[in-house]
Amino acid sequence: MSQLETTDATPIFVDAKGLKCPMPVIKLQQQARVTRPGSLILIACTDPGAEKDIGSWCKVNKHEILEVKNSEYGCEITVKVQGALQNQTQ
Q: List the catalytic residues.
A: 21
CB crowding 13-51: b at 16 or more within 10 Å, else e:
ebebeebeeeebbebbeebbbbbeeebbbbbbbebeebb
